[in-house]
Structure 1
Amino acid sequence: MASETDIETASADLRHRLARQLEKDGWLRSPQWRAAVEAVPRHTFVPRFYRESDAPGVTTWEPVTPQSVGQEEWLRLVYSDETWMTQFGGRDIDWADPKPISNAVPTSSSTLPSLVVRMLEDLDVQDGMNVLEIGTGTGYSTALMCHRLGSERVTSIETDEGVARRARTALSASGYNPRLLVGDGRAGHPGGVPYDRLIATCGFRSIPPTWLRQVAPGGVILATLRGWMRSLGLVKLIVAGDSASGWFSEDDPSFMIARQQDAPESLGAVPAPEDGTTRRATYGPEVLTASGPAFMAQLAAPDARFFSMTVDGGPDSTFVLDSVTDSFAVLDPTDSGWQVRQGGPRRLWDAVESAVGTWEEYGSPNTAAFGATVSREKQVVWLGNPNGPHWPLPS
């Protein structure tokens, strides 16, 4: 096994190589963040992790440690531009005897470095600013901010005690000592206000109003908005008193949803065959998975989820269920397209088709054409400008 000196020598070379690649790809744009990437030892924050197996069949994750793949390969993987899973189902992993994991939901990870630095660059920090991070995770992004701003300028909140404990250990071992808290990130941390910047590394269904009170006027909130069906995307909001407004980025980075906002276990009641009213559908279930239309479907039906299954031996039907209002839509194939059967307080498929139709009328734009305005009273996503078509976010 290589010595600590050997590991540090090899990892320093890999960090510089990673920084060069991130700069070449356009993610690293400033010397300060490049210096942070070159200095912070990612291997300290992900000493062991899981990667997805390429074996066919059910999704399986396999453990990666220096012992299982060898020191050189482990370091190479650590410093590749990949996301590595570090927790499943909110439970700590027994690293004394790690086993492959199947049919599990990842609940903590080390995000791919290109997304980490892209968000940090977008945060537009300046010397002397105070930053609040929601979602410490492994602590790698926290360490980058500490290197850039100084530990005393960084506050980070993690909801999981075990994850927070490991991050604290890794940060301390790397020479960084930010203010680390365990709790619900939606509450922020009033003890450090005002913050000049707030960055969230987990997804939220809407922007917690508390954040508006804790970020200084003119400050930035950078967060991923997402729903129970999919991510909406990364939004950069400029705070103006009791409200904030800004634009989505043109791509769709997807973070795990904050645990306090995860979907209910029950999808909702599956309707009986005679429930609801039926009409011809303008769009089929493909709009739920195609990038642009799915963005619109998430906006139109924020409390819904969907799945497909065979009913009575026939072709697959797609069920869209709203577990909050008990509304439903069932899509069935016909000889000439699709029909939809709807019931409940909300006409789910009417709302989805209206939103997708509006998107098409505006030229089927990417997410950069959308923005959001949030206040304590209401939050909306709009298309084109704040006076354009808009859809409320869940409260």
Structure 2
Amino acid sequence: MASEPDIETAAADLRLRLARQLEEDGRLRSPQWRAAVEAVPRHVFVPRFYRQSDAPGVTTWEPVTPETVDQDEWLRLVYTDETWMTQFDRHDIDWTDPKPISNAAPTSSSTLPSLVVRMLEDLDVHDGMNVLEIGTGTGYSTALLCHRLDSGRVTSIETDEGVARRAREALAAAGYSPYLLVGDGRVGHPDGAPYDRLIATCGFRNIPPSWLEQVRPGGVILTTLRGWMRSLGLVKLIAAGDSASGWFSEDDPSFMIARQQDAPESLGMVPGPADGTKRKAAYGPETFTDSGPAFMAQLAAPDARFFSMAVDGSPLSTFVLDSVTDSFAVLTAADSGWEVRQGGPRRLWDVIESAIATWEEHGAPSTAAFGVTVSRDGQVVWLGNPSGPQWRLPS
């Protein structure tokens, strides 16, 4: 096994290569952030992690440590532009004897560096600014912020105590000392306000009102909006006191949703075979896998989730259930397309089809054609301009 000086020398070379790659790909655009990428030792923040196995069948994650794959390979992987999983199902991993993990949901990770630096570039920070970060995670992005601005200007909130403890230790080992809190990121940290910039590295169903109170007018809020079915995308808002507005980006980073906004465990009541009323459907289950229609479905039915299954030997059907209103839609293949059966207070498939039709009428644009306005009256996503078609975000 290589000595510590050898590891540091190899890591420094790998950071230079990573920075060069990110610059060539157009993600790294400024010398200040390039200097941060070249300086911050990602291997200190990701000393052990899991990667997805290529084996067919059930999704399985394999542990990666200097002992399990060879030290050189571990270090090479750390500095590749990949997201590495560091926690599953909110449970700490026993790294004394790590095992492959199956049938588990990732709940913490080290996000791929290209997305991290792209977001930091978009945050548009300048010397002397104060930044609030929601979602410390491993602490790698926090360290980049500290290197760029100075530790005293960075406040970071993590909801998981174990994750926060490890991030604190890694940040100290790397020589950084931001103000770290364990808590609900939706609350922010009013004692440190006002902030010039706020960046969230987990997804939210809406913009927490406390963020508007804590980011100074003219400041930037950069976060991912998402729902229970999928991510809506990265949005950059300009704060204006008790309101904010801005646009979605072209990219669609899919961060894990903030734990306080996780979907209820129960999907809702599965309708019986005779429940609801039938009609021909204009769209089928591909709605949920095609990026544009899926974006519109999430906007139109923010409290819904979907799954496919066969009931009592019948053909495979796709169920769309809204656990808040107990509304449902069931899609089933018909002779000439799809048939939908709907019931409950809200006609789920009607509103989804209407949203997709509106999107098509406007030329099926990318997410960059959509914006967000947040005010005391509510939070809406609009198409084209604030007077265009609108969909409310859940409160």
Partner of 1:63: 63
Provide the secondary structure at the position in 1 that maps to 2:147: helix
Partner of 1:392: 392
Partner of 1:349: 349
C-alpha separation in 2, matches of 1:285 and 1:346: 19
Q: Sequence identity of aligned pairs in percent?
A: 84
Partner of 1:90: 90
Any idea what the Cα deviations from partners look like across 1:124-159, whole Å, max 9, x if unmatched? 000000000000000000000000000000000000
Partner of 2:151: 151
Question: 1:368 Cα deviation (Å)?
Answer: 0.3
Partner of 1:305: 305
Partner of 1:325: 325
Any idea what the Cα deviations from partners look like across 1:240-289, whole Å, max 9, x if unmatched? 11100000001211100000000000100000111111111111111111
| Superposed counterparts of 1:170-189, under 5 Å | 170-189=170-189
Question: 1:312 Cα deviation (Å)?
Answer: 2.3
Question: 1:3 Cα deviation (Å)?
Answer: 1.1
Partner of 2:27: 27
C-alpha separation in 2, matches of 1:237 and 1:365: 20
Partner of 2:53: 53
Provide the secondary structure at the position in 2 that maps to 1:364: coil
C-alpha separation in 1, matches of 2:191 and 2:106: 31
C-alpha separation in 1, matches of 2:379 and 2:346: 20
| Superposed counterparts of 1:187-336, under 5 Å | 187-336=187-336
C-alpha separation in 2, matches of 1:171 and 1:147: 11
Any idea what the Cα deviations from partners look like across 1:163-186, whole Å, max 9, x if unmatched? 000000000000000000000000
RMSD: 0.5
Q: Which runs of 4+ in 1 moved over 2 A?
A: none
Partner of 1:142: 142
C-alpha separation in 1, matches of 2:339 and 2:379: 33
C-alpha separation in 2, matches of 1:120 and 1:347: 41
Question: 1:377 Cα deviation (Å)?
Answer: 3.2
C-alpha separation in 2, matches of 1:48 and 1:285: 39
Question: 1:201 Cα deviation (Å)?
Answer: 0.1
Question: 1:376 Cα deviation (Å)?
Answer: 3.4
C-alpha separation in 2, matches of 1:333 and 1:40: 53
The unaligned stretches of length 5 or more in structure 2 are none
Partner of 1:362: 362
After TM superposition, the structure 1 stretch with the greater mean CA deviation from structure 2, 166-175 or 275-284, is 275-284
Question: 1:315 Cα deviation (Å)?
Answer: 1.7
Any idea what the Cα deviations from partners look like across 1:294-347, whole Å, max 9, x if unmatched? 000000000000000112222210000001110000011100111111000110
C-alpha separation in 1, matches of 2:85 and 2:293: 29
- The residue type equivalent to 1:30 in the other structure is S
Per the normalisation by structure 1, the TM-score is: 1.00
Provide the secondary structure at the position in 1 that maps to 2:62: strand
Partner of 1:127: 127
- The residue type equivalent to 1:33 in the other structure is W
Question: 1:354 Cα deviation (Å)?
Answer: 0.2
Provide the secondary structure at the position in 2 that maps to 1:73: helix
